[in-house]
Amino acid sequence: MKRDVRILLLGDAQVGKTSLIMALVGEEFPEEVPPRAEEITIPADVTPEKVPTHIVDYSESEQTEDELQEEISKANVVCVVYDVTKEATIEKIRTKWIPMVNGGAEKGARIPIILVGNKSDLQMGSSMDVILPIMNQFSEIETCVECSAKNLKNISELFYYAQKAVLHPTAPLYDPEEKQLKPACARALTRIFSLSDQDNNHILSDDELNYFQKSCFGNPLAPQALEDVKMVVWKNTTDGVQDNGLTLNGFLFLNTLFIQRGRHETTWTILRRFGYDDELELTDDYLHPQFRLAPGCSTELNHLGYQFLQRLFEKHDKDQDGALSPTELQNFFSVFPCMPWGPELYNTVCTTDKGLLSLHGFLCQWTLMAYLDVRHCLACLGYLGYPILSEQDSQTQALTVTREKRIDLEKGQTQRNVFLCKVLGARGAGKSAFLQAFLGRSLVAQRENRGEPSLYAINTVQVNGQEKYLILYEVGTDTTFLKPSDTACDVACFIYDLSEPRSFSYCASIYKQHYMDSQIPCVFVASKTDLPEASHQPGLSPTEFCYKHCLPPPFLFSCHGQGPPSTAVYTKLATAATFPHLNAVELGAVSFWLRVALGAAVTALVGFTLYRVLGKNK
């Protein structure tokens, strides 16, 4: 909505333009009228819409043609004043003033016009019979007000209608020639209907209508008023009322009726409550409310966000099978300008046995979006009507900003529930298979259902009895690691092919160049353990390398079996991410190296004892 309104009064000399302005300001008819009134500003607190209003007079004797054109270009609305007692001034509306204001403008860019019939105190009848054909000829004419500066009749109403024409314009909503809503308006109202239809039965029940009414206007409708509304729709449409509720066609008809009866501020109140601007686009303030994310922090959905999304999932799960089919998912996103998720979705999250999107997978995808792109997540929650349906100020209430990782390390504990693991390895090491195995898919299952590949996989794991989300991201071998963000993550997973010696060398090189001196926990994983282990190149073996760098020993992994792959390695990664302040020894690597050391000590002790026994026997 515009922050101020600029009203320009035009018309022939002596029709009373200046008198109208002075009568409004002075609340009495002026005895002396100057050739032209100075521009006045009415403060916001004394206008019905609480918006500052500037009123500008025009005088042909005082202003040049260029000055007039400049004023027209600055005006939000033009009041064309005529004398109800002089037909010549009425005729000039058609022949001079409207062509001057909107002559070269396209239909959608024309300045709204209010016709003002002044000096009604001098005429018994009305000029409307003559004015109506002009109003029908020019669609930019919002309304006509007959008034009198002398007896102050309709003076405040005149400027109210002028202000209303700017703040609640008809042009974006309604096509008077076609006598129907414009497509953009119909689309916006259809989205609003879909959001308000909370049980997804394509009908607004009395409860849903009252919730909608209260959301938009502050109060529910009285029972009789509700019945009266439905009766009006029922009498004027064939399918506007069904099962004692309002259908989409009925909802659209009702808004058309508001506009046709000059109550388009009602429709604008609805549209603006649901985030629309004057061009019927969702405002940036609505889609992207102010949200501060400090460096080192991350974003997660909180319980309010998950509850809201689960309710919507259940709303669109029409067959109640616990999953969204492609059709149901498309209906879910019908309130969006385009589908936000691509076909790679089904290789990013867990699906049902039939390959459909489960509630768990659905919430995982939203968790991924909130973590990776909070701005996009806020917009998506806005499209879903989160502020209205959750009765919150904005969709930022659905998100939590985590504490800085630096503080987590200092305090030795984290409150985070979502962790990012970067999966690094040479080409052919099995990174993609590792991601898919996280979704419970064996190598056989992966080959049977390839689908669109995804660089991400997200699932939940249990860490010390608590559920955590773990995001796996496959890092390409062409990554240059030039920026800190290229290495940044909560845990790094270096995966190498046990049967290919050069595969480990690649991981060792990346680790030493970019991760060795960081505080990021690192885990080495030996993949393809179902294949024979190749002899490694000269130098440290993977086990020796991990020992030297105080890392946990390599974790052996394979997804070659028939059943779902083991989740142990993913739990290990999530645990390392949850406790980044602990070093590798504290995380349990000590148990491995302790066993090695104890084994060596026992061997030495046994050897020494045998030596002494043999010595005595000699």
Largest CA distance in the chain: 144
| CA–CA distance, 494 with 546 (Å, rounded to integer) | 11
Which pLDDT does position 583 carry in this prediction?
54
Which pLDDT does position 611 carry in this prediction?
42
- The torsion angles phi and psi of 186, rounded to 5 degrees, stand at -60, -40
Write down the pTM of the prediction: 0.84
Residue with tokens 């990174």: 431
How many residues in total does the chain contain?
A: 618
DSSP track, 175-215: ETTTTEE-HHHHHHHHHHHHHH-TT-SSSB-HHHHHHHHHH
Which pLDDT does position 616 carry in this prediction?
46
Give the DSSP H or E segment for 327: helix 326-332
Which pLDDT does position 589 carry in this prediction?
42
Distances (CA, A) of 450 to 427, 429, 527: 18, 18, 20
Beta-bridge mates of residue 300: 400
| 223: Cα within 13 Å, side-chain hemisphere | 0
| CA–CA distance, 289 with 580 (Å, rounded to integer) | 33
Distances (CA, A) of 469 to 366, 381, 571: 11, 20, 11
**Cβ distance 501 to 537 under 8 Å?**
yes
State which residues of the chain have pLDDT below 70: 1, 108, 535-537, 581-618
| CA–CA distance, 472 with 418 (Å, rounded to integer) | 11
Sign of the CA dihedral with 77 first, then 79, 80, and 84 last: positive
Neighbours of 519 (CB within 10 A): 11
